[in-house]
Amino acid sequence: RKEVEQDPGPFNVPEGATVAFNCTYSNSASQSFFWYRQDCRKEPKLLMSVYSSGNEDGRFTAQLNRASQYISLLIRDSKLSDSATYLCVGHGSGNTGKLIFGQGTTLQVKP
């Protein structure tokens, strides 16, 4: 079983839709989680950090459920520019800096 698992999608949604991605992790010692956004052939860019139960930034909301070991990302009012791959990331044990990436979920927002 992979340490961080995501549904690769693709998720095809119309502009203005609300879309949610889920991610599960197997290492219960992981303390910090992140969502990164990666555009085609570009580097991953930090979207949100998730340290406690959740975090909200504008149209984006991330939630962490430690009991069930999953993290979610909710995008409201989707824009064409939200089209990208969203990577769920966990920290290795002890917050030592090793990041463990999921495969990524591809989102395509259509007009």
Partner 1 sequence: DAGVTQSPTHLIKTRGQQVTLRCSPKSGHDTVSWYQQALGQGPQFIFQYYEEEERQRGNFPDRFSGHQFPNYSSELNVNALLLGDSALYLCASSLLFRDRGTEAFFGQGTRLTVV
- The H-or-E segment that residue 47 falls in is strand 44-50
Q: Which is nearer to partner 1, 55 or 78 (CB)?
A: 55
Considering only 11-19, 55-63, 66-74, 98-106, which stretch makes contact with partner 1 by CB under 8 A?
98-106
Alpha carbon of 71 to those of 16, 26, 30, 74, 80: distances in Å? 23, 12, 12, 10, 24
Name the DSSP letter for residue 71: E
Among 46, 57, 76, 110, binds partner 1 (CB under 8 A): 46
Position 29 contacts partner 1 (CB under 8 A): no
Position 44 contacts partner 1 (CB under 8 A): yes
